[in-house]
Amino acid sequence: MKILLVEDEEMLNSIIAKRLRVENMVVDSCFDGEAALDYLNTSGYDMVIMDIMMPKLDGLSVLAQMRKDGNKTPVLFLTAKDSLQDKVAGLNAGGDDYLVKPFEFEELLARIYALTRRSNNQAQNDLCIGPVTINSQSRTVTLNGNSLVLTAKEFDLLYYLMSNANIVLSRQQILDHVWEYDYESYSNLIDVYIKDLRKKIDSGDGPKLIHTVRGVGYVFKVDE
């Protein structure tokens, strides 16, 4: 397991890094938010353990930039700020867990392993094509790392299209798998949903993902 440790207290940083290496983990450590972003831009990690109050750039700002860049690496906040408001702020910003100083190393280790298991389970249910990631278990969708709000049927439609990426699907196939309706009675239903889905998926300057094949149906693929 490879971990980025971001903690401005040098002695604590050193102690945590040494203990983690004893557990056969690979640890890169730094002492401020700007350095953390430099590490994140040049290397991949299984987890980030990060203080909130740091020089140059605080932990919440680092996390915000990570998520903006589409970096979904789990983040465990390690901080002396123990108010409920601070915890909520960290979690709402996209943090995955929150451990208040002082703490026992065994608890830190347990949280690391728990987050790793959760992240692995999440990844197994992720389907990633181009800028879109869809998770069948949590029923969540992100576009370039940003969450999308879809209706239940929009999600089902997108998941079916992405599960059959680069395969042209007829309207009847889509109706059978997503709605279980007969095509004759709902001839324009798919077109309406495709139009709404495109507004959310194909908007902006990114690649077009949902393509119409005239006289046949639709295909999900990333434009070259």
First to last CA, the chain: 34
Q: Which of 4-13, 52-61, 93-102 has the highest mean pLDDT?
A: 4-13
φ, ψ for residue 179, nearest 5 deg: -110, -25
Strand pairing partners for 166? none
Instruction: Tell me: do 35 and 107 sit in the same domain.
Output: yes
**Of 118 and 165, the one with more pLDDT:** 165
**Of 37 and 182, the one with more pLDDT:** 37
Per residue in 172-209, pLDDT (tens digit) is 888 888 876 555 555 578 888 999 999 998 866 778 89
Instruction: Tell me: do 7 and 71 sit in the same domain.
Output: yes
Looking at 124, 141, 166, the residue that finishes a domain is 124
Instruction: Tell me: do 214 and 109 sit in the same domain.
Output: no
Residue labelled with tokens 């094949």: 213
Decide if 150 contacts 135 (C-beta within 8 A): no
pTM to 2 decimals? Answer: 0.55
The packing angle between helices 152-163 and 189-201, to 10°, is 80
Instruction: Tell me: do 179 and 149 sit in the same domain.
Output: yes
Instruction: Tell me: do 157 and 181 sit in the same domain.
Output: yes
Nearest Cα to Cα of residue 66 among 39, 89, 87, 100: 39
What's the mean pLDDT in 142-158? Answer: 88
Looking at 104, 124, 144, the residue that finishes a domain is 124
Beta strands in 73-187 (DSSP E): 75-79, 97-100, 126-129, 132-135, 140-143, 146-148, 169-170
Beta strands in the chain (DSSP E): 2-6, 26-30, 47-50, 75-79, 97-100, 126-129, 132-135, 140-143, 146-148, 169-170, 210-213, 217-220
Given this model, what pLDDT does residue 12 score?
93
Side chain identity, residue 85: Q
Neighbours of 147 (CB within 10 A): 11
Instruction: Tell me: do 114 and 147 sit in the same domain.
Output: no
The rounded distance, in Å, linking the Cα atoms of 5 and 18 is 11
Q: Is-cis flag, bond preceding 102, omega within 30?
A: yes
| CATH of residue 167 | 1.10.10.10
Domain containing 135: what range?
A: 127-220
| CATH of residue 57 | 3.40.50.2300
Total of domains in the chain? 2
Looking at 124, 143, 166, the residue that finishes a domain is 124
Decide if 153 contacts 186 (C-beta within 8 A): no
Given this model, what pLDDT does residue 84 score?
62
Instruction: Tell me: do 113 and 131 sit in the same domain.
Output: no
Instruction: Tell me: do 107 and 7 sit in the same domain.
Output: yes
Instruction: Tell me: do 112 and 179 sit in the same domain.
Output: no
Instruction: Tell me: do 178 and 210 sit in the same domain.
Output: yes
> pLDDT category, 212, cuts 50, 70, 90?
very high
Instruction: Tell me: do 20 and 84 sit in the same domain.
Output: yes
Mapped onto helix, strand or coil, the DSSP state of residue 145 is coil
Instruction: Tell me: do 109 and 190 sit in the same domain.
Output: no
What's the mean pLDDT in 63-80? Answer: 84
- Pure H helices in 59-142: 59-68, 84-92, 105-124
